[in-house]
Structure 1
Amino acid sequence: MTTTPRVALFVTCLVDLIRPRIGFASIAALEAAGCEVVVPEAQTCCGQPALNSGDRKTAEDFARRNIALLEGYDQVVVPSGSCAATIRVHYPEILEHDAAWFPRAQALAAKTFEILAYLDEVRGWKPEGVALPTTATYHDSCSGLRELGIKRQPRRLLAAIDGLELKPLAGAETCCGFGGTFCVKYPAISNSIVGEKTAAIDAAGADLLLAGDLGCLMNMAGKLHRDGSPVRAFHAVELLAGMGDGPAIGEEA
């Protein structure tokens, strides 16, 4: 008999504040994949901004809080490669000196997954009855690609959507220039990087831009909009949950 995993959805700050549709799409996809989904109400930031800014003490505080909150679930799923990597890769690193918390960090890391990798590799799920006759191109976000090895998983999932044609993106693995706090600290450099990225996106000739990290998508969608591009941006899980016909990122009222 197949057991139903009790999965905690770690929503992430950006999804909660900027694009809740990604959270609802994540719940829909996880439930379709046979999971019982719980959204712990006490969840907060994963601590990535503090960690990236050198505030290790605050990052450790966030880590301990989230470990205590999430460790009781069968798995933890995150609709962001960078936030998932913070829990999966960096929590054990920053708590390795703490004999009490290090093994708990390791245990949580072992059962924390980025959502596209979880749906594909852990659940072996494919969307059924989802159709979207359009073209899309896919950007591989840095943390998901380099820290978690996410590359083929989203493309396998998206290939199951009827009518969706994936077009190759030149430099798909190249940074979009967001980089968390990098785009705030070095806006001129970030804008130059994203300009090269959006030029490649336009050259791909696709109607939609897809990725697995909202921060990257916001950065690229903003530049596309400022430059007058018709390309519309979505988190891949929105399409997988059949929500690709709604407002794109940046189009919400």
Structure 2
Amino acid sequence: MTCPHCGKEIFDNQAFCQYCGGRTGSGSPLPTTETGGRKKTAWEDRDVHGFFGGILRTIQSTLFSPTEFFRTMTVTGGLTEPLLFSLIIGMVGLMISYVWQILLQGTIQNFLPPEMSSAAGYDMFHGLGIAVMAILSPVAIILWLFIWSGIVHLCLMLVRGARQGFEATFRAVAYSHSTYLFMALPFCGGIIAAIWSIVLIIIGLKEAHEISGGKASFAELFPIFLCCGVAIMGILFLGLMAASVGALMQQ
């Protein structure tokens, strides 16, 4: 018989393919569909799709069929699986981004002032910074996922849009991190990942909580605009303070 996922020859009555790890159809897999048409994501249903099949199908669905993905995504089952998915995708994107930074280090030095690029400690501190980021990135990804999910869920509660609980919000945010893969692109990857992630989170909130697009957009965009506004006000305040101090010193 052949594997229904990779098409390679396998033994008869074999429950899992030894090549891709996917379920072959032999045996009795547990049902994965909930009431209301919701079901496990391919990533959470790795007994059927295998590790690589599950993660690739989930990435494909979130990036190119987000409405269908979040409309049928289970909103129960715990936070571990979506957290693990977000962590894996985030680390892959960031590590490739770090590799690009190392490869492009010489080009970046060409744009720096001669006294800075020739400093004895520049290479050491640059390499140390990349190493520190690589170590702290998993912690940062996890913390950011919980913090941003909490902020977004609070905004949903303000507009009475938190119909499915915090887990639904967390799952929408976590699976929207499929866009982290675009961080592997040099120069513009981070911008693409951020913008696309915002769009996916809005779609995810709308479908997971079964609310209007307006409420979902408010929950995601309001804290972003608020943070940007506070940052701009802070910069203006510091600028005014610096100008005032400079004027006093000239008197």
TM range (shorter): under 0.3
With normalisation by structure 1, the TM-score equals 0.24
More helix by share: 2
More strand by share: 1
Q: Flag the structure with larger Rg.
A: 2
With normalisation by structure 2, the TM-score equals 0.25
